[in-house]
Structure 1
Amino acid sequence: MTLRWPVVLFDFDGTLADTIPLIVASYRHAIETVGEVADEHEVRSWIGRPLQPVLEERYPGRGTELTDIYRTWNLAHHDELILAVDGIPALLDDLHAAGARTGVVSSKKGETVRLGLRAVGLDDRIDVIAGQEHTDVHKPDPAPLLFAAAQLGVAPGDCVYVGDAIVDVEAARAAGMAAIAVTWGAGLGDALRAADPDALASDVTTLRAVLLEGRRL
């Protein structure tokens, strides 16, 4: 089998694992401590960006405090609320069997990504992790994606980035990588389509067809 892209990089939240309920609940808990109620649509728009800058932007001077509250609650409820995405483990196995290498590029800290990968049984299926601490700037800047490619010793053009947010598509474009958007995470299908990814997958079966069968959508 000749792979269209020999390296497949994934976002984590809302792509490899269904962490959206966990993230939304964690944001809501943190924001409730300042006496406000978080709108779910707004919270979903924050997913894909680093946590502390989002909270600092929303509540100037309280970003660090609210980040600590978020993380404490998130870790306490992590394994309870995180869910696997049907078909993802088999897809990663088949990508490796076909000779592809895989990675995760996330705005989370690498240790938190590893915790999530273990929770959904994917920790032995990923070749490289690029977390928040590995670059000074984050998606939609291409730096984290380029870091992952450099760690694997490959050119950006040999990579595709798969994610559920507009910033994922933008980061892939800026990095010179192909972009695939998935609709089972935080992003809305119409908005993702408007970002003009190379493909838009509504389920893992479709994603498999693009990555392993070369289907063009």
Structure 2
Amino acid sequence: MKNITTLLFDLDGTLINTNELIIASFLHTLDYYFPNQYQREDVYPFMGPTLVETFSSIDPDRVDEMVERYRTYNLAKHDELVTEFDGVYDTIRTLKENGYKLAIVSTKMRNTVIKGLKLMNLYDFFEVIVALDDVTEPKPHPEPLQKALAALGSTPEEAMMIGDNYHDIEGGKNAGTLTAGVSWSVKGKEFLQTFDPDYMLDTMSELLDILQVSTVNK
């Protein structure tokens, strides 16, 4: 494979398990405006796009207040509902120890990205964070990935985008990087495979095998 030096990671559903937090936040918000109209499975399609995109498709006249209600609840419940995925910490630590450039490319706001990284003790591993409030166009537009690559001094040819949603895979393709999907996506491995990622990870540690990274420090 190409000489990969740079790894761009989505955050939610990829490095940290925010699935229950996101689902609960959507249901809390939607139940306020549309009581008893939304079930758990109904909000799965909303996971990945920005909140503005999602709420605009539901009620264009109340987008701002719905986003505010969602974020208030989400922050209040964050530490209670966010958990770690198996193998993520050890894999990210090993990549950092082996000299890889690491960045977060997320459709969340920067303060919430940092909150999640710090909660899972991942914050110090990442040189660059590109969040929703850092860009004009979110994933799958290439802008967030291009901004991360520029900050790291990397080219698309030496980078891989890893994520749990089609926005991550399409964003990587649009920016010219390799792509990897994660099978623990709440939307399912089969769904993600339809977007033809270059790799599909069943565990985060498989990334070390793909990159042929030794678990012993260089």
TM-score greater than 0.5 by the shorter chain: yes
How far 1:58 sits from its partner (Å)?
1.1
- Aligned in 2, Cα 1:64/1:212: closer, same or farther, shift over 3 Å? farther
Amino acid at match of 1:116: G
Output the amino acid matched with 1:178: L
Structure 1 counterpart of 2:122, which letter? L
- What RMSD, in angstroms, separates the aligned Cα atoms of the two structures? 1.7
Matched ranges for 1:110-129 at <5 A: 110-129=110-129
How far off is 1:78 after superposition?
0.4
Residue in structure 2 matched with residue 19 of structure 1 by the alignment: 18
The match for 1:180 is 180
Given that residues 56 and 64 in structure 1 are in contact (C-alpha distance below 8 angstroms), is that contact kept between their aligned partners in structure 2?
no
- Aligned equivalents of 1:61 and 1:84: distance in 2? 36
Q: Hey, what does 2:29 align to over in structure 1?
A: 30
Aligned residues: percent identity? 32
Given the superposition, is the C-alpha separation of residues 3 and 82 from structure 1 closer, same or farther in structure 2, using an over 3 Å criterion? farther
**Alpha-carbon shift at residue 211 of structure 1 (Å):** 3.2
What's the offset of the Cα at 1:176? 0.1
Which residue of structure 2 aligns with residue 168 of structure 1? Answer: 168
Q: Deviations over 1:94-143 (max 9, x none)?
A: 11121101010000011110011011111111110000011111111111
**Cα displacement (A) at 1:39:** 3.4
Q: How far apart, in 2, do the equivalents of 1:119 and 1:98 lie?
A: 23
Q: 1:35 to 1:183 in 2, by over 3 A?
A: same
Question: 2: CA distance between counterparts of 1:192 and 1:3?
Answer: 23
Q: Which amino acid aligns with 1:121?
A: N
Task: Name 2:142's counterpart in structure 1.
Answer: 142
Q: Cα gap change, 1:43/1:64 in structure 2, threshold over 3 Å: closer, same or farther?
A: same
Q: Deviations over 1:120-169 (max 9, x none)?
A: 11111111000001111111111111110011111111110000011111
Structure 2 distance, partners of 1:119, 1:163, is: 19
**Shift of residue 46, structure 1, vs aligned partner:** 1.9
Question: Which amino acid letter does the alignment assign opposite residue 32 of structure 1?
Answer: D
In structure 1, stretches of 5+ residues that fail to align are none
2-11 or 50-59: bigger deviation: 2-11
Going from structure 1 to structure 2, the CA distance change for 1:64 and 1:15 (only over 3 Å counts) comes to same
* Aligned AA (1:34): Y
For 1:149, the aligned partner's letter is L
Q: How many residues align?
A: 213
For the pair 1:190 / 2:193, whether they are aligned, the reply is no
Contact kept? 2:98, 2:213, Cα under 8 Å: no
Q: Deviations over 1:168-192 (max 9, x none)?
A: 1111000000000001133311111
Encode CA deviations 1:32-56: one digit per residue, 9 max, x unaligned.
0112432333422222221122112
Determine if contact 2:88/2:205 at 8 Å carries over to the other structure: no
* Structure 2 residue runs without a partner (length 5+): none
CA contact (8 A) 1:95 1:212 kept: no
Shift of 1:212: 3.7
Select between 140-149 and 199-208 the one with higher mean Cα deviation.
199-208
Structure 2 partner of 1:5: 4
Partner residue, 1:78: 78
> Greater shift after overlay, 186-195 or 172-181?
186-195
User: Mean Cα displacement is larger for which, 144-153 or 33-42?
Assistant: 33-42
Aligned partners of 1:27 and 1:38 also within 8 Å:
no
How much has 1:3 moved relative to structure 2?
Answer: 8.3
Partner of 1:104: 104
State the secondary structure of the residue aligned to 2:205.
Answer: helix
Equivalent residue, structure 1, for 2:68: 68
